[in-house]
Structure formats: structure tokens, C-alpha cells
A and B are shown apart, each in its own frame.
Chain A
């Protein structure tokens, strides 16, 4: 109780001091009134980028340059670091990051006159972007952790688990006993275990790293549709590559359905066929939307401070504690969402695999 009073007193004091400073700050701030573009701030955060921005200090950007890999039909292969673009304002080897128009944010090719090449505006772009880099970091982290754990299992199989091994063993057992075995069945589950485990830990770790605001976290990896699409494609191929005859038969001619729904117009087979694609599509959208929303809410709460401070500096100071409390709450929620979404994606994938490999009698 006493602590709670202390806390509220200090918050009130903070707001009070902030308001006193208001008068002077307001005068100084007027010269610096570029305003605050909330949408840009949010989209900058949740979008992919060619460099890994860490912080901006006195209008000086500190960021990690990432490799840009381009292939142009006209000029061939180009590999260079993204700082050649001078933080998105320069042109390098006839390429630049477009800042407006329909190609906004993408690397475009310019012709000899230095304007957009209309015939061939977009080179093939396989740049290691922020998200790609983050995926690679996550992958290396996962490989280090789990190969390390595996070593301990191999070297000391009979002793009780310790350290990281002890942390992750319950998850591994949970995925095996609560996801894989009930969904796929006792006979075939072991075949899919490596995939399900990798999937679960990859999503979970990516989600968690996304919650860390600074490098090596902070990238909106699982909130990017390309990444979730890659995961969904893996799910799609895993499901359908292992599907048995009964599953395909079920799709071509669903049992227990009146014949007029199959012939002459194959309505149900069509629905079933679309279902093959809908399943991974839903996986893709669910993960993407959940994580993106989390990141967006977090950035919106953070931008509240700047929105208010661009109106009046004192307001920014006043809103900051409230905004931070909400932000902490949101982060805790996102911590939970990170795990739940990883669980849901893995569970549904396992269920779909189970449906595709189920033996019909």
C-alpha cells in the first residue's frame, strides 16, 4: 500500500515538474516545429528497410548497413552496402530508393538522364533487408541454443536437465505430447516433430526478438507478410506432400454429400480444393495480423508522447508516464501473444498435417 502511494506520488510529481518546464520549453520548441508525422513513424517501424536503424542523435542517424543485392537486366548483378544510398537520399550505380509514387520504398533503376527508367523500373531485388537479417540472426541464435542443448543431451543423457536445457525441455515435450501426438497420431508424429519444433521456436523467438526495441531485436519479422508467407508455404508443402490417398479422394469426392453438389457442377470438390490453399493462407494472415497489430499499438502508444509534445512540450511530458504504463502493459500482453501465436500456428499446422495423413477406415 505504502509503495503504491509512493509510486503515484512520484508520477504526480513528474507530471507537475513537467508542466513547470512547459512554459520555457514551449518557447524554445517553436523554432523546431516540423510537426510529427505519426503514420510515417508507425510505418517506418513496422515496414522492412534496407538498413537497420538503431537511433538518431542530433539529426545524426546511427544504423547498420545491410547488403543490397540487385540484378538488373540492363546492368547485371550489383552487391553493395545500403549506406551507399546515404540513408535513402542518394543514388548509387543508377539505383535509388524511391521516396514517392507507386514504387515508394522500393529500389528503382534510373536511366542515363537520372530519372526513373519507365521500361525497366524495378531490378530483381534480393537484398538482405532488416527482416531478412533478423531472420538470419534468429536462425543462428536458435541453432546455437538447440545444438548446445542437444550436446548436453548426448553427453549426459541420464542426469536431470540443467540451464537452457531445463528451460526448453518442457516446451519440446509439450509440442510432442500436446500438439504432435494428439493431432497427428502416435504412429506418424515423429516424422513431423523436427518441422513442428523448428516452426514453434522460430515463430516464438522471432516474436520475442520483435519485442526488444533495439538491435538485434525490434524488427517486425513475424508481422511481415513475406515471412509469414514463407512459413505458410512450408506448411502448405508439408501438409500436401505427406497427404495420403484418402485425403485426395476426400477432396475430389467428399463423402456423405448429395451427388448434385458434385455433379454436374463440382461445388463441394471446388470448395475442398480452395480449402487446400485457404488453410495455409489463414495461418499466414493470422500470425501477420496479430504481430503487426501488436507492433502498431506499441508504436501508437509511443507516438502519443510525440503527438502531444508537438502540440505543447509540457503535454508530452505529462502524457509520457501514462503512455509508458500502457506500453509496459501492451508489452506484457505481447509477450503472451508471442507465445500464443507460435502455439496456434504450430497447433493448426499439426492439425492440418493430421487431417492429411489420417488413415480412413
Chain B
């Protein structure tokens, strides 16, 4: 057999074998393999896409929670500040109130004292007057034991009365 002269017998067997092999492999090997590869690639692509989406979602959620936390913090700070102001205000009010009350009480007490003083004064006057009267009576009694002297005195008093 020459090296470069094709042999129809071998050609026939080669064609037949290759044809049968092609048919068998096409049907039982390549189609399922290619389909499986395609499916796998698609599922990988899909998974990657989903993962990407999930990552974006997580990032978004993280951002959101961060914002919420930030907001909460600000609110709390705001509240604390407000409470502080309120407390100071309350404290100031209480102080003021206490001061006013004290002043009021002091005033009242002072007034009371004044009233008491007036009352005491009055009483004192009355007592002094009574004492004076009783003393005067006693003195007068003593002095006016004698009728003459009484007469005289009345007359003098009458003289003393203004003439109008």
C-alpha cells in the first residue's frame, strides 16, 4: 500500500466509524454535556446577579440603618438638650417661686408684726389711759375731798372752757 494512495477499504471504515461515532456522541454525549454546561453557566450568571443584587440590598440596608441610628442619636441629643433646658427652667422657676413665696411670707410676717405692734400700742394706750383715769380719779378724790376746793376747781375749769 502506497503512502499517499488512499485505500478505499480503510476510507470506507473510517467514514463509517466516524459517522457512527459522530451520531452516537451527538445524541448521547455532546447534547447533554453542552446543555449541562449552558445550564450551569446560566445558573452561575444568575447566582452572580442575585448575589450582586443582595450585596446592593445589604449596602442599602446598612446605609438606611446607619441613617436611622444617626437620626435616633440626633433626636436623643436634642431631647437631652431640651431636658436640660427644661430642667434649668424648672429649677429657675422653682427658685423664683420659692423666693417669691419667702418674700410673701416675710411680708406677711412683717405686716403681722406691724399689726401686733399696733394692737400692742393700742392696748398700751388703753391701759395707760385707764391707769391715768384711775390715777386721776384717785388724785382727784384726794384733792376734792373738800367741797370748797371742788367748787373752786369746777369754776376754774369752766373758766378755762373756751367761750364760743
Contacts and interface: CB of A to CB of B under 8 A. Distances in A.
Given A225-B3, A231-B18, A292-B3, A154 B30 contact: no
Contacts of B15: 230, 233-234
Given A69-B9, A129-B9, A158-B40, 8 more contacts: A136-B17, A139-B20, A143-B21, A146-B25, A146-B33, A154-B32, A157-B39, A292-B3
A132 interface: yes
B9 A125 contact: yes
Given A47-B1, A154-B32, A132 B21 contact: no
Contacts of B30: 146, 150, 193-194, 197-198
Contact of B18 (A47, A106, A172, A230): A230
B17 A135 contact: yes
| Closest A-B pairs by Cβ, 3 of them | A230-B14, A153-B36, A146-B29
Interface centre among A106, A127, A224 (most CB of B within 10 A): A224
A104 to B, nearest CB: 8
B26 interface: yes
Interface string A316-327: 000000000000
B146 interface: no
Contacts of A172: 33-34, 37
Interface in B1-48: 1, 3-15, 17-22, 24-26, 28-34, 36-37, 39-40, 43
A46 B15 CA distance: 20
B33 to A, nearest CB: 5
A79 B13 CA distance: 16
Interface residues on A, range: 35 or more
10 contacts: A106-B1, A132-B13, A143-B25, A147-B25, A147-B29, A195-B22, A198-B30, A227-B10, A230-B11, A234-B19
A173 interface: yes
Contacts of A105: 1
A229 interface: yes
A197 B36 CA distance: 15
Interface centre among A131, A202, A227, A234 (most CB of B within 10 A): A227
Contacts of A149: 29, 33
B13 A153 contact: no
Interface in A121-142: 125-129, 131-132, 135-136, 139, 142
Nearest to B13: A132
Interface of B: 1, 3-15, 17-22, 24-26, 28-34, 36-37, 39-40, 43
Interface string A156-181: 01100000000001001100100000
A226 B10 CA distance: 6
Contacts of A225: 3-6
Q: Interface on chain B toward A: helix, strand, loop, or mixed SS?
A: helix
A229 B9 CA distance: 12
Contact of B32 (A132, A153, A173): A153
Contact of B28 (A43, A69, A150, A202): A150
B28 A229 contact: no
Contacts of A88: none
B25 A142 contact: yes
Contact of A198 (B5, B11, B21): B21
A132 B33 contact: no
A21 B70 CA distance: 96
A324 B32 CA distance: 44
A193 B40 CA distance: 18
A198 B22 contact: yes
Contacts of B36: 150, 153-154, 157
B34 A176 contact: yes
A190 interface: yes
Contacts of A358: none
Contacts of B20: 139
A48 interface: yes
Contacts of A176: 34, 37
B33 A150 contact: yes
A233 B15 CA distance: 8
Contacts of A169: 37
B20 to A, nearest CB: 7
A195 B15 CA distance: 13
Contacts of A292: 3
A194 B39 CA distance: 17
Interface in A62-82: 69
B6 to A, nearest CB: 4
Contacts of A47: 1, 3
B125 to A, nearest CB: 120
A143 B24 contact: yes
A106 B7 CA distance: 10
Interface in A189-248: 190, 193-195, 197-198, 202, 224-227, 229-231, 233-234
